[in-house]
Chains A and B, each alone.
Chain A
Amino acid sequence: MIEFLKRLFGQQGSSATAKERLRLVLMTDHLELAPEMIESMKRDLVELISRYVEVDRERIEVNFERQDRTLAMLANIPILGVNRPNGNGAVTHETPRPQPEPVAGADAPSDAPAAETKPPVRKRKRRKKSQRARTQLPSTA
Chain B
Amino acid sequence: MSARAIVVTSGKGGVGKTTTTANLGATLAKRGRRVILIDADIGLRNLDLVLGLEKRIVFDLVEVAEGRCQLRQALIKDKRFDSLSILPAAQTREKDAITPEQFAGIVERASEVADYVLIDSPAGIETGFRNAVAGAHEAIVVTTPEVSAIRDADRVVGKIAAAGKPIRLIVNRLRPEMVRSGDMLSVDDVCDVLSVELLGIVPDDEEVIDTTNRGEPIVLNESNRLRAIYDKIARRLEGELVPFTSFDNQTFFGRLIGAMKAG
Contact = CB atoms under 8 A, between A and B. Distances in A.
Question: Do A and B originate from a single complex?
Answer: yes
A18 B258 contact: no
Contacts of B163: 139-141
A18 to B, nearest CB: 5
B259 interface: yes
A8 B255 contact: yes
Interface stretch (B26-34, B84-92, B150-158): B150-158
Interface string A6-26: 011000111110110111011
A50 B86 CA distance: 62
Chain B interface, DSSP helix/strand/loop, else mixed: helix
B195 A19 contact: no
B263 A136 contact: no
A140 B160 contact: yes
Interface residues of B, number: 38
A29 B154 contact: yes
Interface stretch (B57-65, B73-81, B180-188, B219-227): B180-188
Interface in A96-141: 132, 134-141
A7 B263 contact: yes
Contact of B256 (A1, A8, A19): A8
A23 B182 contact: no
Interface string B88-132: 000000000000100000000000000000000000010001100
Interface residues of A, number: 30
Contacts, number: 90
A138 B193 CA distance: 22
Given A3-B263, A15-B179, A15-B182, A134 B195 contact: yes
A13 B147 contact: no
B182 A7 contact: yes
B100 A19 contact: no
Interface string B230-260: 0000000000000000000010100110111
B182 A29 contact: no
B183 A22 contact: no
Interface of B: 100, 125, 129-130, 133-134, 146-147, 150-151, 154-155, 158-163, 179, 181-186, 189, 192-193, 195, 250, 252, 255-256, 258-260, 262-263
Given A29-B151, A140-B130, A140-B133, 13 more contacts: A7-B259, A12-B182, A14-B182, A14-B183, A19-B185, A21-B147, A22-B147, A22-B151, A22-B185, A26-B151, A29-B154, A132-B195, A141-B100
